[in-house]
Structure 1
Amino acid sequence: MKFLGVDFGWTSGASGLCCLEIQDQQLAIAQFDLLLDPREIVTWVDQLLPKETMGLVAVDAPTVIPNETGTRLPDRLTHKYFGKYHAGCYPANLNRPFAPRTTQLGFDLEALGFGHVPEIDARKPGRYQIEVFPHPAMVRLFQLDRIIKYKKGKLGDRRQELQRLVGLIEAVLTTLTPQLSLNHRWDDLVQPIPTAKGTDLKEIEDRIDALVCAYVGAYWWYWGQAKNQTLGDRHSGYIIVPAPVTMGDQQS
């Protein structure tokens, strides 16, 4: 199985991409990418997971939007469960400018055979797609009191917070099951953070977010509902988040 993370550019921005692959019972980083055109993203997925190849695509974007106005059920639930952590998500409906772009990605993935799985049989090979949201996932995986604020603010503060996220990924995801195995691709990505500016820092952020998406996808596939929570459903839209992680979950 391969697990692809897509930190999707909702309007016109570039999308961070990451591919994790199970090797020797660990999740190895196979690839990082950054692409602008959604059609290129679909091609990227198709190249890494050609027909009949098993894999899961985890997308940080509302790919299922049934409501013309208002707020989706999963968006409301993120505020219910994660609002106190500042991790509620942006409301989605079909009148939002981003809706055609994000839902089209979901349709394109379905056309490649990646079915939505708001429920899943743990460790069953298949071709799947899910919607994820990194902030609540980080709250759960890293046992945070607040989100890591690396997206906005002064450059120095953003660098510091991004380095904090890097440290948590290295300390926690390498000890959970499935276990993330870091390699030279990771080192090459994070090494420039202390001096990165502007667009360069944003591109690093996007690819790290994509890795978190891919890991959440792998965690969902490996544990299913036993250690994850589905906010919403296939009809209303849904977001997969890990259940609260405890020390007993490490290498279990």
Structure 2
Amino acid sequence: MQFLGIDFGWRSQPSGLCCLRWQENKLHLQDLRRLDAVADILAWVDAQTESDAPALIAVDAPTLIPNATGMRLPDRLTHQHFGKYHAGCYPANLNRPFADRTVGLGLSLEARGFLHAPTIAPQTLGRYQIEVFPHPATVNLFGLDRILKYKKGRLADRAAELLKLRSLILDVLPQLEPSLQITEADLPEIPRTGTALKNLEDRLDSLICAYVAAHWWYWGLNRNLVLGDATEGYIVVPLAIAPSSAPTPKMLF
């Protein structure tokens, strides 16, 4: 089973891409890159999942948008449940300039057999796609009291926040279940320029997306939260939970 993370460029900007492979009861980093064109992204997906290989793709973008105006249900729910962490997501509707691009990506993945999976039987092989949002995922996975603010602000501040994210990936994800086997050598160092910093930001966000895909496949609703549903759009977020706990499955509407 493979887990692909796509930190999708909603307009025309590049997208971060990550592939994790489940092997010998561990996750292993297979690829971490950034690509520009949607056609190249889909070609990358095809290369990682050739011969109809089972995989789960987690996309940071609104691939299901049923509403012509306003805000989707999952967008409202991120503000309701994660607003205090500064992790409410950007509102999506069909009149937004990015809608055709993001919905189109979801449809292209469906055409490849990746069906939306707002519910899943844990550890069942198949070809699935889900929508994710890295900010609330990192809040819960890493026990943060607010998001890491590496997207805006002074270059030095962004670099410091991105360094925290890199360190948490290396220190925490190997300790969780499923465990990600990763070392310092697998991740680039924090760069000094804004352009290079954005490049790394996109790739690390895609790694978080891929890990959320694996967490969803491994645990399903036992240790994940689903904000919304397949009709109104949904976002999958790992629960903030100690490994020994026994959570109640949740879907929020």
**Which residue of structure 1 aligns with residue 188 of structure 2?**
190
SS at match of 2:200: helix
> What is the alpha-carbon distance in structure 1 between the residues aligned to residue 200 and residue 88 of structure 2?
23
**Which residue of structure 1 aligns with residue 13 of structure 2?**
13
Stretches (4+) displaced over 6 A: none
Question: What is the CA distance between 1:247 and its match in structure 2?
Answer: 5.5
Question: What is the CA distance between 1:196 and its match in structure 2?
Answer: 2.4
The residue type paired with residue 224 of structure 2 is N
**Which residue of structure 1 aligns with residue 250 of structure 2?**
none
> What is the alpha-carbon distance in structure 1 between the residues aligned to residue 60 and residue 23 of structure 2?
25
What TM-score comes out, normalization by structure 2 length?
Answer: 0.94
Question: What is the CA distance between 1:76 and its match in structure 2?
Answer: 0.3
* More off after superposition, 210-219 vs 167-176: 167-176
Correspondence list, 1:106-185, <5 A: 106-183=106-183
> What is the alpha-carbon distance in structure 1 between the residues aligned to residue 205 and residue 5 of structure 2?
8
**Which residue of structure 1 aligns with residue 98 of structure 2?**
98
The residue type paired with residue 164 of structure 2 is R
1:204 equivalent among 200, 204, 210:
200
What TM-score comes out, normalization by structure 1 length?
Answer: 0.95
> What is the alpha-carbon distance in structure 2 between the residues aligned to residue 203 and residue 245 of structure 1?
31
SS at match of 1:123: coil
Question: What is the CA distance between 1:106 and its match in structure 2?
Answer: 0.1
SS at match of 2:244: helix
Alignment RMSD (CA, Å): 1.1
Aligned residues of 1:143 and 1:245 also touching (Cα < 8 A) = no
Unaligned runs of 5+ in 1: none
Question: What is the CA distance between 1:166 and its match in structure 2?
Answer: 1.1
> What is the alpha-carbon distance in structure 2 between the residues aligned to residue 30 and residue 43 of structure 1?
16
SS at match of 1:104: helix
The residue type paired with residue 20 of structure 1 is L
Correspondence list, 1:235-246, <5 A: 235-246=231-242
Question: What is the CA distance between 1:51 and its match in structure 2?
Answer: 3.7
**Which residue of structure 1 aligns with residue 212 of structure 2?**
216
* More off after superposition, 164-173 vs 14-23: 164-173
